[in-house]
Structure 1
Amino acid sequence: MASFDFKKEYKEFYLPPKKPQIVEVPVMDFIAVRGEGNPNEEEGDYKIAIGLLYTIAYTIKMSKLGKHKIEGYFDYVVPPLEGFWWQEGRTNIDYAQKENFKWISLIRLPDFVSKEELNWAVKEATEKKRMDFSKVEFLTYEEGVCVQCMHIGPYDHEPETIYEMERFAEEQGYRIDLAGERYHHEIYLSDVRKCKPENLKTVIRQPIRLL
């Protein structure tokens, strides 16, 4: 039996078209790590956060081979890395000021993973890796109505795609709503270490509300 793959089962959220579309995103649970600063810094907080997330994600996935059995477990493909991004005092993203980024890095959790099971995974990973996983948290998030689009190309070219998304949203009677805990959202479908910048696939999602 093939492993459950979120990208294939929920194509509307992970494989949108290259033209903007409106989507309503339901409540989802995530492993999350919060931080700030330039994500491109070598040995920086962002890259450390990604390492923490994947360690916990694979601790949960591979629990099937150990003594700890998670109720309702089914085999699955670890979902792609995601990120919420914002900059204090702004209602858009200034890509020239990456040092001012605040972010929450995320990996989606299957529904069978409770907060208690995540706590088990953190404890397990801490003991095995002898690392500090205290920044890892269980995050439940309801994104609501958004405009989204598949962006192909370098991250620094995202503003062109975002402009098209904003224009489309306005044509549909909406405006971008980056306020409070509604964030610019990216889902990374390509491995940046193995993919040419011009071929990178990134789902971009922006929260919206009626005009």
Structure 2
Amino acid sequence: MTDKFDFKKEFKELYMPKTKPMIIDVPEIIFIMIDGKGNPNTCKEYKNAMEVLYGLSYSIKMSKMSGTQPDGYFEYVVPPLEGLWWTNGERFDGIHIKNKDEFCWTSMIRQPNFVTVEVFETAKKVLTKKKPNLDLSLARLEVFNEGKCAQIMHIGSFDDEPSTIKVLEEFIVEAGYQNDISEKRKHHEIYLSDPRKVSSEKLKTVIRHPIV
């Protein structure tokens, strides 16, 4: 049996950094994205976003089962969930978190390069038939060009991220760069662990900040 293409293994520099910070040039990547606002632990908007993102991603992945796979299709593992985070009215650095209800976010899952607008729209139709009550209106397909960034692996609870981010920020300055978080470039997290299956102290999260 042919091994499935695993983006995490094939692009280790993007998904498997060490707990020591590093600089990386992130290439253009295709994502399905959904924007929203609110505490991810409690708001319905975030729950809906998760259902839509995974529903669309798996609809595309499983298209082979119905013989409707797109041109260029290959066997692959659905990439991990990612998130861009910010708050309105102030620069969000991931350290000074006051009220999670004020979070603004873009949740997203990477897609293989064979996923075109046509493939995306077909997946939406398939998912709508399966789950007609699911709101797909906010989902979009976008090519994301993140550029030069600094990143680090955080191991532990999401609430303990500030200490790791401080290490990352110190590294950015020492390396001769400056943090470039702005309205266009955001605090970025990649979730490598499933919180439902992994204890909080063992969660692995890539934390990535844009730099200039």
**What is the TM-score normalised by the length of structure 1?**
0.96
- Using the TM superposition, give the Cα deviation of residue 67 of structure 1 relative to its aligned residue in structure 2, in angstroms: 3.6
Aligned to 1:55: 55
| Corresponding position of 2:196 | 193
How far apart, in 1, do the equivalents of 2:12 and 2:175 lie? 22
The answer for the alignment partner of 1:75 in structure 2 is 75
Percent of aligned pairs with the same amino acid: 50
Counterpart CA distance in 2 for 1:9 and 1:85 is 26
For residues 128 and 106 of structure 1, the distance between their equivalents in structure 2, rounded to whole angstroms, comes to 21
Q: Contact 1:95 / 1:156 at 8 angstroms: preserved in 2?
A: no
Once the two structures are TM-superposed, the CA of residue 97 in structure 1 deviates from its matched residue by 1.3
Deviation of 1:44 (Å): 2.1
CA-to-partner distance for each residue in 1:85-135, whole Å, 9 max, x for gaps?
011122223323111110000000000001111011011111222132111
Q: What amino acid maps onto 2:30 in structure 1? A: D
Q: Say whether 1:147 aligns with 2:150.
A: yes
Out of 164, 168, 173, the residue aligned to residue 165 of structure 1 is: 168
How many Å separate the matches in 2 of 1:51 and 1:59?
12
Alignment partner of 1:110: what SS? Answer: coil
- 5 Å-filtered alignment, 1:14-25, equals 14-25=15-26
3-state SS, counterpart of residue 149 of structure 2: strand
Q: How does 1:20-169 map to 2 (within 5 A)?
A: 20-41=21-42, 44-91=44-91, 92-93=93-94, 94-130=96-132, 131-169=134-172
Unaligned segments of structure 1, at least 5 residues = none
Cα distance in structure 1, aligned partners of 2:177 and 2:84: 21
Unaligned runs of 5+ in 2: none
C-alpha offsets along residues 128-151 of structure 1, whole Å, 9 cap, x if unaligned? 221321111102110001010000
- Is residue 147–residue 210 contact of structure 2 (8 Å, CA) maintained in 1? yes
Q: TM-score, normalised by structure 2?
A: 0.95
Matches of 2:183 and 2:20, distance apart in 1: 27
CA distance in 2, matches of 1:96, 1:201: 23
Give the drift of 1:60.
Answer: 0.2
Alignment RMSD: 1.0
